[in-house]
Structure 1
Amino acid sequence: MTIAELCIFASVMLYLLTIVPVKWISVGRAGRYDNARPRDPAFYDEGIRERALGAHQNGIEAFPFFAAAVLLAEFRTAPQNLINELSVLFLIVRTAYVLTYVGDRPSLRSILWVIGFLITVAIFFLPVLRNYLSL
């Protein structure tokens, strides 16, 4: 298993772990998270819970393109070291993205989103670059 493939798994864990703390912290408090109604919109209506849900949902949205890009690059025999390095960089940027989302830093969050997207695009096009740049 490659580092990039482990990063695919880690990106799933990142978006799952984004929402868990806000649920866990409020379990047992009156009027808070109810596991019988896990998608209750009233729970996510404000503050950190709303931002954590947004970061979680964005992680779900970003995952398919990242996973497809990594697998395509590997199947098309792009340089594995570049796939690995870009995948780790993607995870670092996505982690920072989650922290800025939950921390209510919208401008920095948007910049990090663009960087993460560009990293995924770069991974996706690594097989093409290999042919033109002799990588």
Structure 2
Amino acid sequence: MTLANTCIIVASLLPIVCAGIAKSRGFGKRRRDGGYDNHQPRAWLSGLSGWQARANAAQANSFEALPLFIAGVLAAQQMQAPQATVDALALGFIGARIAYIAAYLADQATLRSLIWFAGLACSIALFFVGGP
């Protein structure tokens, strides 16, 4: 398995990490005491505020970023792009996504947007690193 393929798995797990962060204050509490409601998770999540709401939004955005990244990695590999370049762009995407999540949780909106663009650039670049 290539490093880029491993990055696909990591990128696929990032939304789950964000969901765990969003739900973390509700774990261990009863539903009637404001704890996480697994019977109506979306309704419970929609009532969050602050960093928990931002973690939930980061979860949604992490899912939204996946298709282009996965397609980019697979397209680059199918076009027989230099694997080191594919790996570097995939690592760049993962780094950007982790920084994006951190900036989102810290409520750093402008920084978050700049980091988002960096991750997007890595995904798009994957389509252009292939051979002839």
Q: TM-score, normalised by structure 1?
A: 0.89
| Residue in structure 1 matched with residue 98 of structure 2 by the alignment | 95
| Residue in structure 1 matched with residue 53 of structure 2 by the alignment | 50
| Residue in structure 2 matched with residue 5 of structure 1 by the alignment | 5
Deviation at 1:45, TM superposition (A): 3.5
CA contact (8 A) 1:43 1:49 kept: no
Q: Distance in 2 between matches of 1:42 and 1:8?
A: 26
Letter in 1 for 2:61: N
Q: Deviations over 1:36-56 (max 9, x none)?
A: 211115654411121011100
Q: Distance in 1 between matches of 2:73 and 2:24?
A: 32
Q: Distance in 1 between matches of 2:87 and 2:111?
A: 25
Q: 1:59 to 1:2 in 2, by over 3 A?
A: same
Q: Distance in 2 between matches of 1:19 and 1:67?
A: 20
Q: Distance in 1 between matches of 2:128 and 2:57?
A: 28
**Residue pairs, 1:1-135, within 5 angstroms:** 1-29=1-29, 30-41=33-44, 43-127=46-130, 130-131=131-132
Q: Distance in 2 between matches of 1:12 and 1:108?
A: 23
Task: Flag structure 1 segments of 5+ consecutive residues without an equivalent.
Answer: none
Q: TM-score, normalised by structure 2?
A: 0.91
Q: Distance in 1 between matches of 2:25 and 2:3?
A: 32
Give the 3-state SS of the residue equivalent to 1:36 in structure 2. Answer: coil
Give the 3-state SS of the residue equivalent to 1:39 in structure 2. Answer: helix
Q: Distance in 1 between matches of 2:16 and 2:112?
A: 19
Letter in 2 for 1:58: N
Q: Distance in 1 between matches of 2:90 and 2:19?
A: 22
What is the number of equivalent residue pairs in this alignment? 129
Task: Flag structure 2 segments of 5+ consecutive residues without an equivalent.
Answer: none
